[in-house]
Amino acid sequence: MKTWRLDGPSQTLAFGSMADGCPAVIYWGAPLPLDEDLVALAGATQLDVTGGMLDATPALSLTPEASRSFPGQAGMVLRAADGMPVLPKLVLSNVEQDKDQLRFTCTDGAQGLTYIAQVALDVTTQMLTLTASLLSEFPVHLQWLAAPVLPAPQAASEMLDFSGRWCGEFQQQRTPWSAGIRLRESRTGRTGHEHFPALIVPCTGTANTHGDAYAFHYGWSGGHRMIAEELPDGRRQIQFGNASDTEVATATRFDTAPLYATFSAHGLNGCAAAFQRHLRDRIITWAKPETPRPVHYNCWEAVYFDHDIPKLQDIATRAAALGAERFVLDDGWFGKRDDDTTSLGDWTVDLRKYPQGLGPLIDHIHATGMTFGIWFEPEMINPDSDLFRAHPDWVLGDTDQILGRQQKVLNMALPAVRDYLFNAIAAILAAYAVDYIKWDHNRVLPTPDAAQARGTYDLLARLRAAFPQVEIESCASGGGRIDFGILEHTQRVWLSDSNDALERLKIQRNAALFLPLAVTGSHVGPRKCHTSGRTLDIELRAWVAAQRHMGFEMDPRELDSREQQVLRDVTTWWKANRDWMERADILRLDAADPAVIAEQQLAEDGSRFVVFAGQITPSTQIAPRPLRLTRLDPTARYQISLRNRASASHLSRAAHLLKDRPVTLSGSALMQSGVTLPWRFPETMWVLEGTRL
């Protein structure tokens, strides 16, 4: 056996190849001693052979092969140009190792196939990045190609993944492991509200703050397939790749998107911190890296399609007075766009609404001290548009397809489509001082096609190269296209179209397993939420938005004097803390009370933290339960204080110390005993600040 390994401060990943077969993972977990005998390790963990089994165990390799009697899902499924199955039988032909990277090349000379698996470990972020490529001497049809396959631990009893819907993204699901396959596939042509491309496998007993966990995310926007399989012999494998059968043409090369994976010995939070840091520091290309994240104002829920310059100028003035630093003009500024039935594709300013163009509005916005952003939905087209009448052949799919939001999809694989969109968007960006684009995607594709995602990536890359100072937000009816693939080209995501603060608390909590504050837009919505109909107090709405990249998306004319003051105060607090919060780890707390959703944002250097503890529903017990903090220095002293103690209810009657003044405790006490916060009504939040002394 030949062996190789990658080592970081929190994990070791080791590979072995027996008789020059395609390598397999022989160990993945907590760091091993550098002098560990990997051959002995592989031998000590190999499976025995008994009744009902083959005389040898087929390898669970980086691409398991059907030709070698592998009893589960193969790592690739191919057909020749004539439709006949192709069953690769690979031999390891070359290995290259450079510091923290490995490149395995395996070949099937008889069939003219080359498989390349690349694995890199970032020792700072503790993230593994794995990609696979298939090269063929002859054109082949690709049905399925998995990124390099990783094993799942047998010490786990369940797996966590995420479903969702519009205004209800990132709903966590727990599924018991059992014999066979759990298969999830997004076939809508985008990431999807329903199928966030991720999986977490916690070992038994793992919680947010402790225990072993393995986590995976597939960085691709065009639809994916996930397989979590337990084989008859008990081994488990994890496969991720592009949705099957989305390469519609034969080709001689295919590549997977990156699979990001990490191991944590410190609970789900260890995985979360790795994903947050890696996305923020390795994947995002920031338009203005030295500029703090600005407080947003988006006008959508204030005016919808009713664009009136004096009204928008008044709203902008009020938003700036509340603390907004960027004004985003949403849908309705172009073509003859009075509702959602018309004009997508006609990216010229509507002179009925803006007779002098956008200049007067932008000048006013700049005069308030805000920058300007604008909404596009480039990949879409309305049948009632000048573009459709000129180019019906640019539409993706059949002519009689079902519409979505009164629109169809442009075929982004066509160079002419991308050229048209680049020129149309670039004309707006060149004519006006645009700081920001909200890039929307409001319907699913009529049929999944990997070329569509690649075309969108190409257009985004061209625009970023031409206008590097313009930031782009990925929105797809809220969270319908959130993944590390789209975030290679964008800098912010609109997590959900729901501005309901209670719903946001749940969505933000689960999304934080992968997304840092800096990319996660969260806005203070209207007093009565437009998507849920629920009425919530301004304090809760403001503090929930302050947990992420803060913004407003209401009509500021509806605010009374108290609401204005609360919003100004929370916004001022967010601006004073955003520098360290942008680089903080968002850590989920294991609240003893299921009525409480709590998180702790811990500064990069550990010098300070803030805890957001939301009381969602009434508790079953009378008094609050203690809330234990995490990842503090047990020997250090921390001064803690309730930022919003002035809002304590009159029914909180005890002389509670935290309601009167700051308290100093050890990190050990805060993590072991915890903090018992004062009583609160449901639909409220405590904000606890801490500083290391």
Active site residue 497: yes
Phi, psi values for residue 130, rounded to 5° = -125, 130
User: Would you mind telling me the total number of residues written for the chain in this entry?
Assistant: 693
Please give the Cα distance from 182 to 196 (Å, whole number): 15
Which contiguous run of DSSP H or E holds residue 688?
Answer: strand 684-692
Q: Which two tokens stand for residue 271?
A: 């995985």
Query: Residue 252 and residue 169: Cα distance in Å, rounded?
Result: 37
Q: With contact defined as beta carbons under 8 Å apart, do 100 and 120 qualify? A: yes
Query: How does 401-437 read in b/e, with b if 16+ C-beta sit within 10 Å?
Result: eeeeebbbbbbbbbeebbebbbebbeebbeebebbbb
Distance, CA of 22 to CA of 105 (rounded, Å): 8
CA-CA-CA-CA torsion sign (587, 591, 597, 600): negative
Q: For 667, phi and psi rounded to 5 degrees?
A: -60, -35
* Rounded Cα–Cα distance for residues 28 and 323 (Å): 48
Dihedral sign, CA of 415, 421, 422, 423?
A: positive
The amino acid that residue 350 corresponds to is D
- Give the DSSP H or E segment for 511: helix 501-511
Q: Among the options 108, 212, 497, 585, which is catalytic?
A: 497
Q: Return the number of other C-beta atoms located less than 10 Å from residue 175's C-beta.
A: 13
Residue with tokens 């939040």: 685
Among this protein's residues, is 440 annotated catalytic? yes
Beta strand pairing status for 585-588 and 198-202?
A: unpaired
Q: How far is CA 561 from CA 325, 368, 568, in A?
A: 21, 21, 11
Q: Rounded CA gap, 454 and 318, in Å?
A: 41
The CA distance from 177 to 677, in Å, is 38
Cα 65 from Cα 74, distance rounded (Å): 5
Site of tokens 């080592």: 7
How far does CA 96 lie from the centroid of its chain? 31
State the helix-helix crossing angle for 561-581 and 309-322, rounded to 10 degrees: 60
Taking the C-alpha atoms of residue 480 and residue 188, their distance in angstroms, rounded to an integer, is 10
Cα distance between residue 627 and residue 614, in whole Å? 12
From the number of C-beta atoms within 10 Å of its C-beta (0-12, 13-18, 19+), residue 388 rates as buried
Q: How far apart are CA 657 and CA 664, in angstroms?
A: 11
249 phi and psi, to 5 degrees?
Answer: -115, 155
Q: How far is CA 579 from CA 330, 426, 588, 693, in A?
A: 27, 32, 21, 20
Spatial contact of 295 and 326, defined as CB atoms under 8 Å apart: yes
Q: Phi and psi of 486, rounded to 5°?
A: -65, -30
Q: Which member of 122, 350, 440, 449 is catalytic?
A: 440
Sign of dihedral through CA atoms 517, 523, 528, 532? negative
Q: Which of 307, 386, 395, 393 is nearest to 353 (CA)?
A: 307
**HEC letters along 311-366:** HHHHHHHHHHHHCCCEEEECCCCECCCCCCCECCCCCCECCCCCCCCCHHHHHHHH
Helix (H) or strand (E) holding 211: none
Residues known to be catalytic? 440, 497
